[in-house]
Amino acid sequence: MLRFLARRALGAAVIILAISLITYLLFFVLPTDPAQLACGKNCSNTQLVAQIHHNMGLDLPVYQQYWDYIRGIFVGRSMPSGQSCPAPCFGFSFANDQPIWPLIQNRYPTTLSLAIGGSAAFLLIGVGLGMLSAWQQGKTFDRVASSVSLVGNSVQIYFIGPLAIALFADKLGWLPHGSDPTWSSDPIGSLTNMILPCLVMSVIFWSNYSRQTRSLMIEQLSEDHIRTARAKGMSSRYVFYRYALRGAAASIITIFGIDLGTVLGGAIITEATFGLHGLGMLAVNAVGSLDLPLEMAVMLISASSIVIVNVIVDACYAVIDPRVRLA
Amino acid sequence: MTTLTKPEAEPTPQESEHFLSVRDLYVQFATEDGVVKAVDGLSFDLDRGKTLGIVGESGSGKSVTNLAILGLHNPRNTTVAGEIVLGGQELTGASPRTLEKLRGKKMAMIFQDSLTALSPYYTVGRQIAEPYMKHNGASKKEAKNRAIEMLAKVGIPQPQTRVDDYPHQFSGGMRQRAMIAMALVCDPDLVIADEPTTALDVTVQAQILDLLKDLQQETGTAIILITHDLGVIANTADDVVVMYAGRAVERGTVRDILKTPEHPYAWGLLGSIPRLSADVDVPLAPIPGSPPSLLNPPPGCPFHTRCAFTDTVGGDRCRTARPQLPAGRGSACHLTQDQKRDIFIEQIQPRLR
């Protein structure tokens, strides 16, 4: 088990390194000169542009630039201009010349809690509904749940988001909306503020998960080992939870691992719908203003978190299915 | 649900105190294409300490019969009628809860493909211990010790460490042994072994069958051995029921069935066994054709479409009249007793050498 995890972690590290290299090359080796983007109104002044080049370290060889960038993330660096950038250093924003990390530090709790809260919501609701449907297979509950799932599958966040705000926040007043307290100043307010976005985000996923879970459970229940367990005199309930769910869980977790990217995308759309200040908004603004260092940092962080969560998913998979540990 | 119309009842052997007694068992599945008569009026008896072999091709209703005894059929599309009495307790009408308490404790089943029949997610020890905990109220520790004891009993080396292995870490033969340990962990009175050796190679087959026999002598369990392999029957069974298209077509002691079989289907089964002593260039004699559809069984004798002796019987009898299986030793065939004996001695036996 430990060896399995070590191997996966090593693989993940290599992948993250590769991602960092590709993003780095994409942004700094492209024909667009970053200095041209950073110079603002003074671009006709060649001397100034050369100065910016030097300040950003662009006059160094590419491998040196990359090394400085990666090193900066871990131990911080001081730019050739003399600006110091404490670790983790992702460089300075083109837009306002501020270090990038504090910007991200302010935003990522929102996105993270949205992704975690939303995932928890759709896993609980979706898998729960799917299990109930499988248990009640062919009965009224199963049929109703299947139809509702179809509706859930076909709506979009930006459609149900405003509806949910109008109903639960404005009309019924059950949940807050409009304020966006920061994580550091008001943790509880920030959390309650997340409930509605998480639920809305989960809707587009839970229908899919309930359908997947239902069919996985039904498939598992027809397996030979289920019959063996029943032949031993184990109760239907026991067989359902201990044997069938265990088998289905392995597949559900795999699907979840594949869906992670979509979850992050969903979180970004949800942020926009609810006007939350998360990484998504930050990235969109960065793209709009061609703020390359900021874009790079957001990309690197989101890609790394997907890779890391995938390692966790693999670990869960190995816990559930002993055969995986050998692989 | 389908209502069953009972055709003329098969004459039942004398009422007696058998440990397991199955009378006029009907099992039918409702499918989209119609009603499948998987078991069609089957009767047999089994005493403690004895082994009953049930032989037949795939789809002859062997496994379905035994799933019905355990109550493992899907109640949504299956109708079971008739009488199954185990140790004085009627099983066909019993509640799911009652059956659940009997399964694993009084009656247990050994399945054929141990790789799919054991759960990949739990250790072998846990899967053996589970029924012991449920039925005997044993603690986790007691149950684990019992699992180790059972693994040792079925001949798994180093049971103390192997108990924590997963099924995929066992070889095929060891898995089948573990399956037997699992079935026997609560000392059941009836063990149903559904082709327990089919997935194993021949040397391991013999070991598993010996093991079953030894355990039977030790505990006095009654065993139903389902197989399509008459070789397996020869060494293990006391009595044999030959099944065809959901019915018993011949019944007798293992000696009767192997030495003086009466039904043309049993002759066919015997004839299709390869023999080491036979000439290499003599082809095997398989039974022509394939088993009949149970959705729409042929009228008369269900075997008449594949039988070479319908003309010997003469007329239309095989196609119109259903032959009855007499009580005790006998076969469900229109041939007369003398014809059966003569045909076997003159035409069948020479081919079996």
Say whether B117 and A228 touch across the interface (CB within 8 A).
yes
Residue A180: per-residue pLDDT:
64
B93 or A182, which is more confident: B93
Dihedral angle computed from the Cα positions of residues A271, A276, A281 and A285, in that order, rounded to the nearest 10 degrees:
140
d(CA B149, CA B146): 5
Contact of B117 with chain A, judged by CB distance below 8 Å, is answered with yes
pLDDT of residue B8: 44
CB contact under 8 A, A233 and B131: yes
Residue B10: per-residue pLDDT: 45
What b/e sequence results for B321-348 when a residue is b if at least 16 CB atoms lie within 10 Å of its CB, and e otherwise?
ebbebeeeebbbbbbeeeebeebbeeeb
- The CATH class that applies to domain A101-326 reads mainly alpha
Q: Which of A178-182, B289-293, B320-324 has the lowest mean pLDDT?
A: A178-182
Q: Per the CB < 8 Å rule, is A228 touching B111?
A: yes
Query: Would you say the C-alpha torsion B95, B97, B102, B104 has a positive or negative sign?
Result: positive
| Average pLDDT of span A262-269 | 86
Summarize pLDDT for A278-310 with one digit per residue, the tens. 888 888 888 887 788 888 888 888 889 899 999
Instruction: Tell whether A139 is within 8 A of chain B (Cβ).
Output: no
Asked if A241 contacts A315 with a C-beta cutoff of 8 angstroms, the reply is no
User: Minimum mean pLDDT among A156-160, A308-312, B15-19: which range?
Assistant: B15-19
Instruction: Report yes or no: A232 and B108 within 8 Å, Cβ to Cβ.
Output: yes
pLDDT reading at B190 higher than 90: yes
Q: How far is A294 from chain B (nearest CA, A)?
A: 46
The whole-number pLDDT of residue B12 equals 46
Instruction: Determine the pLDDT at residue B150.
Output: 93
pLDDT at B20 over 70: yes
pLDDT of B14? 43
> How big is the A-B interface in CB pairs under 8 Å?
71
Give B232→chain A minimum CA distance, Å.
23
Distance from CA of A243 to the nearest CA of B (A): 7
Domain locations in chain A?
Answer: 2-94, 101-326
Average pLDDT, chain B: 87
HSE (side-chain half, CA atoms, 13 Å) at B289? 12
With 50 as the cut, is the pLDDT of residue A149 above it?
A: yes
CB atoms within 10 A of CB B138: 18
Answer yes or no: are the C-beta atoms of A191 and A113 closer than 8 Å.
yes
**Token duo for residue B237:** 């069974």
Q: Which residues of A touch B130 (CB under 8 A)?
A: 229, 232, 234
Q: What is the pLDDT of residue B126?
A: 95
B26: pLDDT confidence band, cut at 50, 70 and 90?
very high
pTM to 2 decimals?
0.82
**Residue A322 and residue B70: Cβ atoms within 8 Å?**
no
Q: At B126, is the secondary structure helix, strand, or coil? A: helix
Is B156 at the interface with chain A, CB within 8 A?
Answer: no
Q: What is the mean pLDDT of chain A?
A: 84
3-state helix, strand, coil in chain A (%, to 5): 75, 0, 20
Strand residue runs (E) in B111-207:
190-194
**Model confidence at A326, in pLDDT bands (50, 70, 90)?**
low
Rounded to two decimals, the ipTM of the complex is 0.85
Name every residue whose Cβ is closer than 8 Å to that of residue A252 and which is 6 or more positions away in sequence. A123, A127, A209, A212, A213, A216
From A250's Cα to the closest Cα of chain B, the distance in A is 10
Spatial distance between the Cα atoms of B249 and B340, rounded to a whole number of angstroms: 14
Q: In this complex, which of A230, A232, A322 lies closest to B166 when CB atoms are compared?
A: A322
pLDDT over 50 (residue A98): yes
pLDDT of residue B175: 92
Instruction: Reply yes or no on whether the pLDDT at A38 is more than 80.
Output: no
The verdict on a CB contact (< 8 Å) between B118 and A223 is no
Probe site for chain B from A142, A228, A235, A243 (most B CB atoms < 10 A): A228
Q: Can the peptide bond before residue A88 be classed as cis, meaning omega within 30 degrees of 0?
A: yes
Q: Which pLDDT band, with edges at 50, 70 and 90, does B165 fall under?
A: very high
Q: How confident is the model at residue A145 (pLDDT cuts 50, 70, 90)?
A: confident
DSSP annotation of B302 reads T
For the cut 50, the answer to whether the pLDDT of residue A231 exceeds it is yes
User: What pLDDT band is residue A32 in, cutting at 50, 70 and 90?
Assistant: low
Angle at the Cα of B70 (from B65 to B75), degrees rounded to 5? 80
Structure confidence by residue, pLDDT tens digits, B208-261: 888 889 889 988 899 999 988 888 888 889 999 999 998 999 999 999 998 889
pLDDT value for B69: 92
